[in-house]
Amino acid sequence: MAKQKEVKTNAMRILESMKIPFTHYTYECDEFIDGLQIADKLSLPYEKVYKTLVTQGNSKNYFVFVIPIAEELDMKKAAKSVGEKSVEMIHVKDINAVTGYIRGGCTAVGMKKQYVTRIDSTAQNQSAIIVSGGKIGSQIELAPDDLRKAAGAEYADIIKA
């Protein structure tokens, strides 16, 4: 049983405390690989797997966006969805300081602070989506509305058409 505890990430503990059901997937990986490679390793359909992106707005506030792995964040739509003039991706070296997670293990649940979060509206068409579990080698599958609830997020149209 002790070995089971080691695998749990902060995100998983939060989901459990909120009584949100999820499925945990693991894959072998020592360094960052992109979402498409993760989906391939786990034989998951691309449209179900989402990535978490962290941006900073004009206001210097941070914003989190969760989008399908094969899509690109539309910066104008993203900024508009959070009431900013513009947003830009934060530097990779800043991910840990801002979120508490590392690149490739960043998830919208359980960051150091609760940032304004938007999940792309395409997630509403899925019965379940898969996001990072909070560390490299870990993915979690859950209902989009459960992720929305756990991350204090809202849905928005934020990907490039």
Give the residue-averaged pLDDT of 101-115: 93
Q: Check: CB of residue 117 under 8 Å from CB of residue 91.
A: no
Quote the CA–CA distance of 79 and 55 in Å, as a whole number: 9
Length of the chain: 161
| pLDDT value of residue 104 | 87
DSSP reduced 3-state for 11: helix
pTM higher than the cut 0.75 = yes
Q: Which domains does the chain have, with CATH numbers?
A: 2-156 (3.90.960.10)
Per-residue model confidence as pLDDT tens digits over 1-45: 444 445 789 999 999 999 999 999 998 877 777 888 889 989 999
| pLDDT value of residue 6 | 52
